[in-house]
Chain A
């Protein structure tokens, strides 16, 4: 009924080794993750527990066979790549050829922003530490999604949903929303086409990389709706919607609205509130066409024959969301739901009148404005390498080099959180999900945690030969309210285990 639900993001960072473009990115990514792990983890390093992972489980109700799967889809085999759990409940690891950070499970859009931004700081810390290692190379990380030469890497969102919601409803109502939401949460990109062969600016980093409407793949033939179905929770009650279409955002308001509006639309789907058919004809083509027109004038055709701009399509969802919240909660709506609705409306209203007026809030507009200022001052055409450089460097996570950071420092981009709050989130877990239990176990009993995952903590206890697995299948248990007092009175993991099992 609101923007609240169990959710998280996972971001693969672009990586380059300064002065050595041929460096092996897997090695560099491992150096980054290992440098952070060695410097910050107190005792033994808890490994990731793969027992409950099933990346070939399809939300449509069948499993893909391992033999027919592309090797890149087999994410559950421990390849020996660096993979650690942090005291804030997050996971820091190497996925394919990129360092990746998954936020702990949170329940509000603002907490997504907080722990997603904390991930940037973890990565910054990690790259700095990697450079200090003997033989360590200067490694730079980028929070973007493409090299502009044909490769893309993801920034995924995860939303816990009710299992009983028919998947076909999700597909039907979410595709038009995803085709259009990039006007709010795109990160902006120089270059058109997967390999950027055409000069120009587009709204989204990712849109050119989507080729089908629905599918299980994430690395090839990317689908607008991904069907991976590993709930990391009771599968009879929940599914996890794995959203792979979003851009990695630097701007806090972009992330906040991306997750807040999506969560609201999912609530409407779950409550069967969406009866309007907003199906877009040729959604894959429409997705790209919307991205390719930053003036926001492109019109998509709906199945019912109407032609709407992406902003107008978003306004349809906004209109429904306002009615839904009013209908279900009225004056009892929680402040973040009210805030998301108000900001969404304000942003769409201004995008309709003057897109450039959003340069202080949305990534793609901030980037576009900066590029246009350079074009004007230096008389640059879109094919100029300097503009491509600005695109990359906008997402450089170093405050002294990153252009997003420069714009924030110059007061050009609004923030929602202060540095202190983000810094705390690098180490402290959210208090209202099972991430609290996971993070606190690592903080309090570091030498006793052998492994952990989203749905378990595995303890290696004195006096016991085998490892003891504590399942954490319910994402809303293991909160501070549930286990805070218990953890406070257990000085050791042995005491904790005894209390949990007596």
Chain B
């Protein structure tokens, strides 16, 4: 009897711990991702054509097929 009770309880404990770890992981991952996004955008800032308005205005194409 005691044995039978123990098994599921142990299982749920393990689950709780895993969930808690998963949450921390997710938060850490999100921070890491945010930093990565910032880095990526910084890198893209460096190559973006400098005067967006002027560039957009002068990007004129003839129609094709």
Contact = CB atoms under 8 A, between A and B. Distances in A.
A151 B44 CA distance: 27
A12 interface: yes
B60 interface: yes
Given A406-B44, A412-B40, A151 B62 contact: yes
B37 interface: yes
Given A98-B61, A147-B59, A406-B44, 17 more contacts: A25-B62, A96-B64, A97-B61, A147-B61, A148-B59, A149-B60, A150-B63, A151-B61, A151-B62, A152-B63, A370-B44, A392-B55, A393-B49, A400-B47, A403-B47, A406-B40, A406-B47
Interface of A: 12, 14-16, 21, 25, 95-98, 146-154, 156, 218-219, 244, 370, 373-374, 377, 384-386, 388-390, 392-393, 400-401, 403, 406-407, 410, 412
B12 interface: no
B64 A12 contact: yes
Interface in B6-51: 37-38, 40-41, 43-44, 47-49
Contact of A219 (B43, B58, B59, B63): B63
Contacts of B62: 25, 96-98, 151, 153
Contacts of A389: 48-49, 52, 55-56
B4 interface: no
A14 B62 CA distance: 9
A183 to B, nearest CB: 24
B8 to A, nearest CB: 32
Nearest to B37: A373
A410 B41 contact: no
Interface residues of B, number: 21
A219 B60 contact: no
A30 to B, nearest CB: 14
A385 B54 CA distance: 9
B65 to A, nearest CB: 4
Given A21-B58, A386-B52, A401 B63 contact: no
B55 to A, nearest CB: 6
B60 A147 contact: yes
A172 B65 CA distance: 23
5 contacts: A98-B62, A156-B65, A377-B41, A385-B53, A390-B44
A393 B48 CA distance: 8
Contacts of B40: 373, 406-407, 410, 412
A343 B48 CA distance: 33
Nearest to B39: A410
Contacts of B43: 406, 410
A384 B52 CA distance: 9
